[in-house]
Amino acid sequence: MATTDNTLPEGTDKIIAGAAATESEEALIVTTPTAKDKALQTLKTETGKLSGQAADKARGLVGQGLERSGEALGNVSKMIGDTAASLDERLGSEYGDYARKAAGAIEEAANKLSAKDADELIEDTREFVRKSPGVALAGAAIIGFALVRLVKAGLDQDKED
């Protein structure tokens, strides 16, 4: 910013013609982006693209998992319902009724699960973790243990083949 009086700033001993910029000239000065600024902007753009792609992929995988889980629960429900008649004969109608109720509950859960989309399931999971983090942590540990066992069994099977 240019000064209007003739006093020099401290440490200056003379005025150089054309060195002072008026306010309108200062407004016209445009700073050109450096290579660092360009690289940062490119990095931000690419990171945004990658995170969007990862989110879309995760939603797709969750959707497939929902579909498969719904089908699996439906199959379990049908198997339990099919065995209810034999339970009536072997153990009594009381146990057959329990099996039918269980089959109905599992079928209802399968239908609810199939009706949800990935975003709803993710939000339900977040809400569950907020309400009971201990149960969620224990469940995650059990699922992790089971996955490790499955992977290990698969690797052992590959070695035998």
In tens, the pLDDT along 113-145 reads 778 777 787 788 889 889 998 888 888 888 888
Cα distance between residue 7 and residue 12, in whole Å: 10
Domain count for the chain, please give it.
Answer: 2
71 lies in a domain?
Answer: yes
Residue 10 burial class via C-beta count within 10 angstroms: exposed 0-12, middle 13-18, buried 19 and up: exposed
121 lies in a domain?
Answer: no
147 lies in a domain?
Answer: yes
Shared domain check, 96 and 136? no
Q: With contact defined as beta carbons under 8 Å apart, do 20 and 3 qualify? A: yes
Cα distance between residue 140 and residue 144, in whole Å: 6
C-alpha distance across the termini of the chain, in Å = 80
Shared domain check, 76 and 52? yes
Sign of the torsion formed by the C-alpha atoms of 117, 118, 122 and 123: negative
Cα distance between residue 122 and residue 143, in whole Å: 17
Shared domain check, 112 and 40? yes
Amino acid letter, residue 35: A
14 lies in a domain?
Answer: no
Shared domain check, 99 and 52? yes
Shared domain check, 76 and 148? no
Q: What is the pLDDT of residue 158?
A: 65
Structural domain span for residue 69: 35-116
Give Cα 30 distance to the centre of its chain: 41
Shared domain check, 92 and 55? yes
63 lies in a domain?
Answer: yes
Shared domain check, 68 and 111? yes
Model pTM?
0.45
Shared domain check, 97 and 47? yes
pLDDT in tens, 9-25: 676 666 665 555 565 55
Shared domain check, 136 and 108? no
How crowded is residue 72: how many other Cβ atoms within 10 Å of its Cβ? 12
How crowded is residue 76: how many other Cβ atoms within 10 Å of its Cβ? 16
122 lies in a domain?
Answer: no
2 lies in a domain?
Answer: no
Q: With contact defined as beta carbons under 8 Å apart, do 130 and 111 qualify? A: no
106 lies in a domain?
Answer: yes
How crowded is residue 80: how many other Cβ atoms within 10 Å of its Cβ? 20
Confidence check: pLDDT of 2 > 60: no
Shared domain check, 134 and 108? no
Shared domain check, 47 and 104? yes
